[in-house]
Amino acid sequence: MNEERVQALTALEDRLGWYFADIALLDNALTHRSFVNENAALACQDNERLEFLGDAVLELTVSDMLMRKFPDHSEGQLSKLRASVVNEQPLAELSRRFGIGERLLLGKGEECSGGRMKSSLLANAFESVIAAMYQDGGFDRTAAFIARLFEPLIEKGDLSTIYKDYKTAAQEMCQILFREVPRYTVISETGPDHDKRFETNLMIGERVISTGAGRSKKEAEQQAARIAMEKLG
């Protein structure tokens, strides 16, 4: 790790308010698979394992916060609230707030395709940073960091109005109108690995209700659900 990289990571530590005992953890959290694929000689590791761990730490922490805040809520209500917090859009916004995208190590293809602006990539990077914090400082300290970010939202009591989970809303509407759960079918997948684009149909039985597009399957499904909500009114 050269001096320029260390300075960039140190600046991010200042913004996060978290100083790593081993800054290599943060470096790993910000190393995308595309960079590893294009720089095999560096023998570095991508952040996908950390993303997996960070997702679990976030879900556990937010679940505990919601349980404490809403002792009378059902499991279904708590799940919907959690989905409003731990999903792509709010996590991507947090990445943007801290400038995480600016410190990502990306391959040339991903860089050229605007990878630093992709919500899916930024959300994954935020989860990876959470995992790096967990490995660096343990669960209690990491949970306290997460709580500082999400408590203001949870205090409002209705997270679904802040970050709308269209898939959940579309499912509820389809069950009311058609007594069926919608299903999502990928109808096209185009572009190179670093710049994929998906098109997905939302279907009730054999009927296509709407079609959405996005840079990930999740994003395409959310778009299809949003359009379905608008059509169904």
Is 3 designated active site?
Answer: no
Q: How many residues does the chain have?
A: 233
Instruction: Give the active site residue among 127, 165, 219, 221.
Output: 127
Are 60 and 160 within 8 A, CB to CB?
no
Is 230 designated active site?
Answer: no
Instruction: Give the active site residue among 27, 51, 55, 110.
Output: 55
Alpha carbon of 139 to those of 55, 62, 90, 136: distances in Å?
A: 13, 13, 21, 9
Q: How many CB atoms lie within 10 A of CB 59?
A: 15
What separation, in Å, do the N-terminal and C-terminal C-alpha atoms of the chain show? 54
Q: Any idea of the CA torsion for 14, 20, 24, 27, to the nearest 10 degrees?
A: -30
Question: What is the CA angle 72-75-79, rounded to 5?
Answer: 115
- Residues annotated as catalytic (active site), given as ranges: 55, 127
